[in-house]
């Protein structure tokens, strides 16, 4: 492959079409220079993980642009305080770049702690802080000592690596809180939910399933997160990890430090959310919990299945492209799309590892393109080549889809519709249907003449 067909030669090893020779896909490497990767920086990786901790202040130590870039970056909902929705910045300028930004950081922290009385303060180091060498740790220690509020440095200088390194820095920041709370009243049937960020209230839905099974949720990291819950999370019997790319390192560290085992699950799609509840029930080997899981799944499916049939009928045989942050979500999306009759022509992720991609290759149909750390030129090329009906991605993929005249479903952190759990599957089918069967595509130049289903607009009334 060469630049002329939309693929930079250095990227060829990160693209594979199922059926074209033996499976091999390079991954977990720095992005190719000049390829305009869809990945965000290390700082952004930390920010998306820690952002939903609602009773902490989040201080971005750097130029104001870093804070603006990540302001309110997730649709993470709170049942109480909303401190997390602010984007505090030390707004470093020329003077601080020359003379150092430590005094400004200290002043900002003292001011914010006095004003908001937060349970903790996270300080994110950005690129320029790494360059000028501010000692964020020393300032954090000094302010913690003086105010009694834990100030936690997040070592997230943007250039330090990939977004995945930002996840790791966020987990290390959380680890400074874990183990500092009282665990005496925690049930033996208890879990922490890791890698669930309460987008559109999803963490509340998931917690409700577990409560109906008789399981105590000690903490959610980090959706609708509370510092005091995180402090006592080492008292839970099990860690249940959803967004494995962001939180597996924390789960492994908690297993090492506190002996808490962990399970990898997904709450997207009927198969995976049911399996998640059954797996957790199996872990506790408790008959009441097992019966509880069966009851939750039965009740939810009885409600859901009749509502799915009309969408499946309209979407049968359509094709989709998936490009998401973590590969684990891609597995669930392939299954969820099959549930509504759709097939996948392209699938990729920003941060998948070799195990993830092996599994992805097994799940895909022959001819499916699998990509690691892709870019707009490649994705556009494959979308046109495969003539897909739907693109599933995040905020950076949305304009690409619309410009190409392709329906889009936002499955990333900006979305405002719950897509997890049983109710989320119904929302997903509805969202996909509304976009794929919208009459607007008949006006897109590339689509003109292909036609759309004439009955496409009436499902909402029928469902
Ligand atoms: S940390 Fe660096 S790469 Fe990230 S937004 Fe700020 S300047 Fe850009």
**pLDDT on residue 118:** 98
**Whose Cα sits closest to atom 4 in ligand 1?**
158
What confidence category does residue 73 fall into, taking pLDDT thresholds of 50, 70 and 90?
A: confident
Class of domain 190-298: alpha beta
Domain 42-175: give its CATH code.
Answer: 3.40.50.1980
47, 53, 123, 60: which is closest to 87 by C-alpha?
A: 60
Asked if residue 4 has pLDDT above 50, the reply is no
253, 105, 240: which is closest to 174 by C-alpha?
A: 253
Does the C-beta of 125 come closer than 6 Å to ligand 1? no
Burial group, residue 29, by CB count within 10 angstroms (0-12, 13-18, 19+): exposed
Does the C-beta of 169 come closer than 6 Å to ligand 1? no
Asked if residue 448 has pLDDT above 70, the reply is no
Of 72-86, 129-143, 222-236, 384-398, minimum mean pLDDT range: 72-86
Does the C-beta of 60 come closer than 6 Å to ligand 1? no
Asked if residue 3 has pLDDT above 60, the reply is no
**pLDDT on residue 144:** 98
Distance 31 CA to ligand 1 centre (A): 15
Query: Residues 136-176: pLDDT tens digits?
Result: 999 999 999 999 999 999 999 999 988 889 999 999 999 99
**pLDDT on residue 451:** 46
Query: Residues 14-41: pLDDT tens digits?
Result: 999 999 999 999 998 888 888 888 888 9
**pLDDT on residue 453:** 42
Asked if residue 312 has pLDDT above 80, the reply is yes
**pLDDT on residue 368:** 97
Cα distances (angstroms) measured from residue 389 to each of 94, 367, 398:
49, 16, 14
Asked if residue 101 has pLDDT above 80, the reply is yes
**Whose Cα sits closest to atom 7 in ligand 1?**
127
Per-residue HEC secondary structure of 418-449 comes to CCCHHHHHHHHHHHHHHHHCCHHHHHCCCCCC
Average pLDDT over residues 397-412: 93
Angle between helices 202-212 and 287-315 (to 10 degrees): 140
Average pLDDT over residues 119-137: 97
Query: Residues 299-311: pLDDT tens digits?
Result: 999 999 999 999 9
**pLDDT on residue 328:** 85
Residue 167 to residue 238: CA distance in whole angstroms: 21
Distance 45 CA to ligand 1 centre (A): 11
pTM: 0.90
Distance 360 CA to ligand 1 centre (A): 31
Question: Domain 308-462 is classified in which CATH homologous superfamily?
Answer: Nitrogenase molybdenum iron protein domain (3.40.50.1980)
Domains 190-298 and 308-462 share a fold: yes
Tokens at 195, concatenated: 């890698």
Residue 151 to residue 412: CA distance in whole angstroms: 29
**pLDDT on residue 461:** 37
Taking the CA of residue 70 as reference, the ligand 1 atom at the shortest distance is 5
Listed by start position, the domains of the chain span: 42-175, 190-298, 308-462
Average pLDDT over residues 316-328: 93
What confidence category does residue 449 fall into, taking pLDDT thresholds of 50, 70 and 90?
A: low
**Whose Cα sits closest to atom 3 in ligand 1?**
158
**pLDDT on residue 83:** 93
């Amino acid at each position: 492959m060469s630049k002329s067909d939309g693929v930079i030669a250095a990227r060829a090893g990160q693209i594979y079409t199922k059926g074209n020779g033996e499976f091999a896909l390079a991954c977990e490497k720095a992005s190719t220079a000049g390829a305009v990767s869809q990945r965000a920086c290390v700082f952004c990786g930390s920010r998306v993980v820690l952002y939903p901790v609602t009773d902490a202040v989040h201080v971005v130590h750097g130029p104001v642009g870093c804070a603006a870039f990540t302001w309110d970056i997730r649709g993470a909902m709170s049942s109480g305080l909303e401190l997390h929705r602010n984007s505090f910045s030390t707004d470093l300028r020329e003077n601080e770049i020359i003379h150092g930004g430590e005094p400004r950081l200290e002043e900002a922290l003292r001011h914010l702690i006095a004003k908001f009385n937060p349970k903790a303060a996270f300080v994110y180091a950005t690129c320029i802080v790494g360059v000028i060498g501010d000692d964020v740790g020393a300032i954090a220690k000094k302010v913690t000592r003086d105010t009694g509020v834990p100030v936690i440095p997040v070592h997230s200088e943007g250039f330090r690596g990939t977004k995945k390194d930002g996840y790791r820095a966020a987990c290390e920041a959380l680890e400074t809180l874990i183990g500092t709370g009282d665990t005496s009243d925690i049930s033996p049937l208890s879990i922490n939910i890791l890698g669930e960020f309460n987008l559109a209230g999803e963490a509340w839905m998931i917690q409700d399933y577990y409560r109906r099974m008789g399981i105590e949720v000690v903490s959610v990291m980090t959706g609708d997160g509370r510092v005091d819950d995180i402090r006592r999370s080492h008292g839970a019997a099990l860690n249940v990890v959803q967004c494995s790319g962001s939180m597996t390192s924390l789960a492994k560290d908690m297993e090492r430090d506190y002996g808490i085992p962990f399970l990898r699950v997904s709450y997207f799609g009927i198969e995976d959310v049911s399996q998640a509840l059954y797996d957790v029930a199996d872990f506790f080997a408790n008959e009441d919990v097992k019966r509880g899981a069966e009851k939750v799944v039965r009740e939810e499916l009885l409600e859901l299945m009749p509502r799915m049939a009309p969408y499946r009928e309209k979407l049968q045989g359509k094709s989709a492209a998936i490009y998401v942050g973590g590969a684990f979500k891609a597995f669930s999306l392939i299954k969820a799309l099959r549930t509504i009759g759709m097939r996948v022509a392209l699938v990729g992720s920003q941060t998948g590892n070799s195990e993830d991609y092996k599994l992805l290759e097994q799940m895909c149909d022959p001819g499916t393109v699998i990509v690691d750390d892709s870019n707009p030129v490649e994705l556009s090329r494959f979308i046109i080549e495969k003539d897909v009906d739907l693109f599933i991605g995040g905020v950076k993929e949305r304009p690409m889809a619309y410009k190409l005249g392709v329906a889009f479903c936002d499955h990333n952190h900006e979305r405002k519709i719950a897509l997890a759990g049983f109710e989320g599957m119904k929302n997903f089918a509805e969202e996909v249907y509304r976009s794929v069967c919208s009459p607007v595509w008949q006006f897109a130049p590339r689509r003109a003449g292909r036609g759309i289903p004439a009955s496409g607009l009436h499902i909402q009334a029928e469902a």
